[in-house]
């Protein structure tokens, strides 16, 4: 029997709406600049030719409803509400027409960001890891199976901080839609069940501080909540 010198980390798994089993998370891919108005507010432009990605470690996921500490190393901690596609079937070089058959379901995600560190990295042409891939940076709601909700291609995406609306857009405005993302990403990775794709955030990103409450919803998908407390 295999023994470990210390206990291996627990798998993070998300609840599945209407099911008792959990959805174990493998990899977390995130799409950058996938709404025109968000790219503009970041002082950039969208690339309509092809999406680009960054990743977050699966152990950096945190369930909706959590209260988490303000993270270290930042003075500009931002929310980004996103539609998340959860892969349920393995595939490589998937055709766009077949892509949605690889999607098990959808969730609401918060791509929490240390914006100051991301922008410093961007300026210096360095990787974004410090700004994007840190503890508790990938907040995830329950997963709504496509069997229940279909494959939503439009619907309001709204985020409130302390009951004030900060993001208000529509997932129909995604530049690269889920089918295109699955097709494109699967040319570079062998997609596996448990992989997540955070599809990008609309405009209206902004900072949160300790004491703030975030609530998000995506019409036809579900809702997500997060509270921020003082750092440890």
Residues near Mn ion (CB under 5 A): 80, 111, 201
CB of 21 to Mn ion, least distance (A): 28
Q: Considering beta carbons, is residue 16 or 197 the nearer one to Mn ion? A: 197
Q: What Rg, from alpha-carbon coordinates, does the chain have?
A: 17
Q: Considering beta carbons, is residue 17 or 177 the nearer one to Mn ion? A: 177
CB of 205 to Mn ion, least distance (A): 8
Helix (H, G, I), strand (E, B) or coil at 33: coil
Q: Considering beta carbons, is residue 76 or 101 the nearer one to Mn ion? A: 76
Helix (H, G, I), strand (E, B) or coil at 154: coil
CB of 41 to Mn ion, least distance (A): 13
CB of 80 to Mn ion, least distance (A): 4
Length of the chain: 232
> Of 63, 221, 64, which Cα lies nearest the Cα of 144?
221
Pairing of strands 138-140, 61-63: parallel
Do the Cβ atoms of 26 and 193 come closer than 8 Å? yes
CB of 48 to Mn ion, least distance (A): 18
Do the Cβ atoms of 83 and 208 come closer than 8 Å? no
Query: CA separation (Å) from 214 to 93, 120, 133, 163, 210?
Result: 37, 25, 20, 8, 11
Eight-state DSSP code of residue 16? B
Q: Considering beta carbons, is residue 16 or 217 the nearer one to Mn ion? A: 217
Q: Considering beta carbons, is residue 112 or 225 the nearer one to Mn ion? A: 112
Rounded CA separation 96/184 (Å)? 8
């Amino acid at each position: 029997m295999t023994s470990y010198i210390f206990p291996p980390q627990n798998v993070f798994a998300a609840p599945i709406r209407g099911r008792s089993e959990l959805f174990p998370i493998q990899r977390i891919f995130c799409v950058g600049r996938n709404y025109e108005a968000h790219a503009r507010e970041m002082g950039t432009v969208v690339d309509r030719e092809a999406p680009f990605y960054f990743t977050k470690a699966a152990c950096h996921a945190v369930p909706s409803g959590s209260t988490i500490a303000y993270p270290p190393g930042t003075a500009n901690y931002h929310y980004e509400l996103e539609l998340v596609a959860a892969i349920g079937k393995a595939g490589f070089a998937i055709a766009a027409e077949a892509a949605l058959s690889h999607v098990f379901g959808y969730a609401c995600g918060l791509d929490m960001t240390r914006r100051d560190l991301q922008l410093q990295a961007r300026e210096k042409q360095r990787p974004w890891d410090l700004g994007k891939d840190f503890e508790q940076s990938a907040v995830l709601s329950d997963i709504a199976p496509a069997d229940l909700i279909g494959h939503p291609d439009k619907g309001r995406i709204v985020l409130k901080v302390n009951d004030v609306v900060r993001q208000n857009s529509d997932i129909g405005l995604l530049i690269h839609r889920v089918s295109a993302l699955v097709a494109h990403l699967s040319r570079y990775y062998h997609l596996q069940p448990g992989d997540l794709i955070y599809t990008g955030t609309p405009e209206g990103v902004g900072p949160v501080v300790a004491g703030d409450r975030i609530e998000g919803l995506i019409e036809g998908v579900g809702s997500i909540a997060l509270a921020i407390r003082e750092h440890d």
